[in-house]
Amino acid sequence: MGMFKDFRIFSLPGGFALTVLLVLGNAQDHQTGFISLDCGLPVYSSYSDQTTDIHYTSDASYVNTGEIMNVSPEFKTNVDVRRQLWTVRSFPDGDRNCYHIRLTAGVKYLIRGTFMYGNYDKKDELPVFDLHIGPNKWDSLKFESASAVINKEIIHIPSSNYIHVCLINKNSGTPFISALELRPLRNFTYVSESGSLALVTRTDTGATKSQTFRYKDDKFDRIWTTETFSACTSLNTSLNVNADQNDYEPPSVVMSTAASTKDANTSLDFYWDAPPNDNSGYYIYMHFAEVEELAKVKQYRAFIVTINGNFWHGPVVPDYLLDSTVSSQSALTGAGKYSVSLKRTENSTLPPIINAFEIYKVIELLQNETDQDDVDAINNTKLTYGVKRNWQGDPCFPAAYVWNGLECYSHNNTARITSLNLSSSGLNGRIIAPYISNLTMLVSLDLSNNSLIGSIPDFLSQLPSLKVLKLEKNNLKGSVPVQLIEKSKNRSLLLSVDPNLCSSASCGKKSIAVIAAVASVAGLAIIILLTAAAIFWSLKRRKRKGTPKIDAETNNQNRLLGSEIRQFTL
C-alpha cells in the first residue's frame, strides 16, 4: 500500500539554521504563550509549580459558572499528586459549561485538560461526561478510580481569536475539571492533512524506571511517559542528545534512552489497536538518536520501518547524539490494529533502536463556529442587558445546545443567528444600535414584556431580513419609525407594539402632520423675521429723519432681534 511510503524527516542540515534556532531557543525558553489554569483555584490566586516552575492561575476569569471544590484529603497526601489536582471546578448546573479562552488565531496549540475525581463531592461516584472543543466533540471521559489522572490532549489550530472548551453533562454524574493548559507549538510540526490531532500515546522508550518528563525538560511541555517493552533491552547515554536541528525538539532526557532488541536479528515490534468500527486516521511520530558510540569499522546500525508489513521508512541510520523525527505525511487508515516493526538491514551489525514515539488520532472538527460578527454581537448584547441565561460556548452549535432564545441557520459554511427572543427577560434601558444591528441575518426579534424605555430606534427598519418584530409590553415612548410602519402595512413585517405608541395607519399621518406643523412654525419664524426687518428698516429710515421718542424703541428692537436684523440693515 502506497500510503505507508510517504514520510517526512525532520533533521535539517546544520549551520546557519542551527545558529538561528539557538538564539530563538534562548529568547523563548520561558513559558512564552503558555496558558496554565488550575481549575478551582480561588479567584485571583496563582502560584509557580514546585517541580515544573510553570505559573498557574485561577480559572475564574475564563468561565462564568461552576463551583470550586477540593478533592478529599487522602488524595492530596500522595506526593505524586501535583498541586493542580487538589482543587476542581465542577458544573452541577446546565447541560453545557464552557471555558472561553482568548488566544492567537492561526497558531498551533497543544490543549490539555487534566482530570482527577478525588471524591471531591464525597459521593464516591465516578462521573462520565464529554469534552467539546468549540462546537465539536473532542472526547469522552470515563474514570477507572477516584485517583486516576486523565490527561486529554489535542493539537489544534483555532480559526478565531478565542476557543471554547466545554464540559457536557450526559446525566451520568457532574462534569468537573482539574486543570486546563494551552501550549503553542511550531506550526510546521504535527501537520495533519485534515482535522486536529488527539493524543493516543507519547512514550519514552528504553528507560529503566517509570517516570514522566515535561517542562522544563520539554520546552513545549509535552508529557512523556516512560515505558519498558518486554523482550527489549535498554540503551542509554549520560551525554546530552542534541535536538537543535529537529523542530520537534524531543527533550534530551527522553532521547538519551532507547529501546533495542537483544540480538541483531530480532525485530523491534510494537502495535496499537484502533477501537472497533472507528475509521479515524492515525499519525505516528518516531524519534531516533544513536546513544552508543559505535566502533568505526565493525559496527553499523541501520534498519527499515514497516507498518502492518508494508514498507514505511528506511533505512534509518540514527546519528550519534543527534535526534531526528520521522512521521507520516498522510494519515494511516483502514486497519483495526497497527503493527510497527523495525528490522535491521542486511549489512547492519546492530539491532534496531527507538528512543521515543508519539501516536495521534485524527479528530475531524467538522462543524464550523458561528459567524464571528454574530458571536461578538450576541455576546455584547448579553453583556449590555445583563442577560441572565446559561449562554455559553458557541451560540448555535451543537444543535442540542443552541442558546436558549436563539435560532440559527447555516449560511456559507458558517452559522448565522436568525432569531433572537428575549421576551420576559427583565431587560432594562434603551434598545441600542451597535450590537443588535450587527445581527444582520435576523428574521425575528422579540423583546416584548421587558422594561425597555426610550423610543423605537430607526436601525430596526434597516435590518434587511427582519420579518417579525415584537416590542409590546415595554415602557417605550414616541412614534414608530415610518419605515417600520410601511413594512408592516405592506405585510413584509409582522410588527407588534403597545397601543400607546402610534403604529396604525393614522399614526403615520400623525407624524406627517407633525412634520407639516414643524414646517409651518419655521415658515412663521421667517415671516416674523421679515416683518421685523421691514419694521426695523422703516424705523431706521424714520430715525434718520430724527424722531427721538421712537429711537429708544428702535434700540430695544435691535437688541432683541440680534444679528439677523443687521443683515437686513446693511
Residue whose CB is less far from ligand NAG, 183 or 487: 487
- Residue pair 169/392 in contact by the 8 Å Cβ criterion: no
* 472 near ligand NAG, judged by CB under 6 A: no
DSSP 234-287: EEE-SSPPB-TT-TT---HHHHTEEEEESSTTSPEEEEEEPPTT----EEEEEE
Question: Of residues 280, 390, 423, 504, which one binds ligand NAG by CB under 6 A?
Answer: 423
Q: Which parts of 198-237 interact with ligand NAG (CB under 6 A)?
A: 207-208, 234, 236
- Length of the chain, please? 570
CB of 78 to ligand NAG, least distance (A): 23
**Closest to 445 measured CA to CA, from 478, 462, 423:** 423
Q: Does 532 bind ligand NAG (CB under 6 A)?
A: no
* Residues contacting ligand NAG: total by CB under 6 A: 40
CB of 133 to ligand NAG, least distance (A): 15
Does the protein bind ligand NAG through residue 426 (CB under 6 A)?
yes
| Amino acid letter, residue 456 | I
421 lies in the binding site for ligand NAG (CB under 6 A): yes
Measured CA to CA, the distance from residue 463 to residue 436 in angstroms comes to 9
When binding is defined by CB under 6 A, the residue of 192, 257, 261, 306 that contacts ligand NAG is 257
- What values do phi and psi take at 546, rounded to 5? 85, 85
Strand order in the sheet with 406-411: 406-411, 414-421, 444-446, 468-470, 494-496
Choose the stretch contacting ligand NAG; rule: CB under 6 A; options: 147-155, 328-336, 419-427, 534-542: 419-427
Beta carbons within 8 Å of 241's beta carbon, 6+ residues apart? 252, 255, 256, 289, 291, 321, 322, 323, 355
Contact code string over 134-173 relative to ligand NAG, x by CB under 6 A: ----------------------------------------
Q: Among residues 487, 495, 497, 508, which is the contact residue for ligand NAG, using CB under 6 A?
A: 487
Nearer to ligand NAG, 145 or 238 (CB): 238
What 309-312 contacts at long range (C-beta under 8 Å, 24+ apart), as own/partner pairs, is 309/339, 309/341, 310/1, 310/4, 310/5, 311/4, 311/5, 312/4, 312/5, 312/7, 312/340
Q: Which x/- pattern, by CB under 6 A, does the window 441-470 give for ligand NAG?
A: ---x-x--x------------------x-x
Q: Which of 67, 95, 373, 472 binds ligand NAG (CB under 6 A)?
A: 373
Ordered DSSP codes for 390-423 = ---S-SS-SGGGPPTTEEEEEETTEEEEEEEE-T
Which residues of this chain interact with ligand NAG, rule CB under 6 A?
100, 187-188, 207-208, 234, 236, 257, 263, 265, 300, 347, 366-368, 373, 375-377, 379, 383, 412-413, 421, 423-424, 426, 434-435, 438, 444, 446, 449, 468, 470, 483, 486-487, 490, 492
